[in-house]
Chains A and B, each alone.
Chain A
């Protein structure tokens, strides 16, 4: 063996401590806590990352509030703010839906503005069609 090279035997001895069973013996309480601490820190990182992301992107739903505020602001700016005060509503009732007066759910209004749901629909359609045939 040439001078200066580490002997095979010594190298193995130096590293043998690192072998699986040797390691176990070698793992001190301190080492365990170090490792466990590191794992805890990584778990906290994972939680913190999700929380951070959640917060960062949860604010992305702000637009709903902003749109709502926009509608309420528009409402406040309107000259008329109650449905029954709409002049064209009065006009449509007087001219068309309930001639001469403002009377919601008149016969015509009922025909044009009301509907039926679910299993009543097929009969409702036949009814509508027969009415239209009468009118024609």
Chain B
């Protein structure tokens, strides 16, 4: 389908400095090479997370680029090019234009994308909300199934693992095929957006789905591999056509000569552009968990959740756990939901072995490959400064 998959997303350039720092970063041991030797990446083992790339002291690791595809599509008048941006992009894109990390440039980003020639600007946060609906419902089904509630048989085993992170998915597939039944079947927000953008959106906008070119801006290099996976064709086309990273978007904006900091604040287009705070925090480790718990609590209890901030699941430690009491109306009793949050696939092995041995007490486990979540993804601006 694409050259990206055959050549691998992440590659060490030929002028590798051989400092051997990356071998300790790589969660799968895909990088080979001794100190002093030019390093190499085994693409069968590599999960495309790009952590080595942003942590290379010399910037000698590169990711495959689809920028040319995007430029070609933007220049093609027959194509209806639409774009989605992940939550983590909006707090990091500004860094490429001299802003502090964490500055929210969401509305300027929408404006910049329109000026780059995208016909419609949407938001991955919309499908993040959709993911919560689907994944949350799936989780409720599994919990009911485990409790023996009628009508919820064969919903799948517990605990349920999140499936938003393509690096984690590839890790699970490669290293722990037995864990696959535990993964949520919900697609990642990016792929949900792809499928929706070529089925639902054309009915609303009256365009031919064949002409839609769906681009996504991601903080992630693994998303490039994900969009090229052969099974993501449920819309009848390749669901997402091209993925560019935060860095590549910044380069595009600079190349076009757009003065980013002077852009007006604009909003996303309607139908699949609205988002909620729950979707915004998808970009940080623990965010999917928090968003899912907010919705699950209200749906299961039928009452309003007063304290929206679930501080128990926040933080940047690599493995965190929490227990939340949810009063379930349908069962007439309170249910303790045990959750775990893992950031850095290196740290997930023990949890997986517990799950496979049947020792796990958790109901829902969030796994994000990059330390800290998508905000520290392989496609984010690279920071080398000394404080």
Contacts and interface: CB of A to CB of B under 8 A. Distances in A.
B383 A63 contact: yes
**Among the interface residues A73, A83, A118, A125, which one has the most CB atoms of the partner chain B within 10 A?**
A83
Interface in A38-71: 56-57, 59-60, 62-71
Interchain residue pairs A-B with the least CB separation, the first 7 = A70-B102, A81-B277, A78-B277, A70-B91, A59-B387, A75-B277, A66-B102
A82 interface: yes
Contact of A60 (B126, B134, B314, B387): B387
B283 interface: yes
B376 interface: yes
Interface of B: 87-88, 90-92, 95, 100-104, 106, 126, 128-134, 136-138, 141, 163, 169, 172-173, 177, 180, 183, 185-187, 191-192, 195-196, 199-200, 203, 229-236, 270-281, 283-285, 287, 291, 294-295, 298-299, 305, 308-309, 314, 316, 371-373, 375-376, 383-387
Contacts of B287: 71
B191 A115 contact: yes
A81 B308 contact: yes
A70 B285 CA distance: 13
Given A83-B278, A86-B129, A116-B185, A68 B284 contact: yes
B294 A116 contact: no
Interface of A: 56-57, 59-60, 62-78, 80-89, 91-93, 95-97, 104-105, 109, 111-121, 124-125, 128-129, 132, 135
Contacts of A117: 163, 169, 172-173, 180, 183
Nearest to B132: A83
B173 A118 contact: yes
Contact of B387 (A56, A78, A85, A93): A56
A80 B304 CA distance: 13
**Among the interface residues A56, A75, A124, which one has the most CB atoms of the partner chain B within 10 A?**
A75
Given A71-B281, A105-B141, A115-B234, 14 more contacts: A63-B102, A64-B375, A67-B283, A71-B88, A71-B287, A73-B104, A75-B281, A82-B278, A83-B129, A83-B133, A83-B136, A89-B274, A109-B134, A117-B169
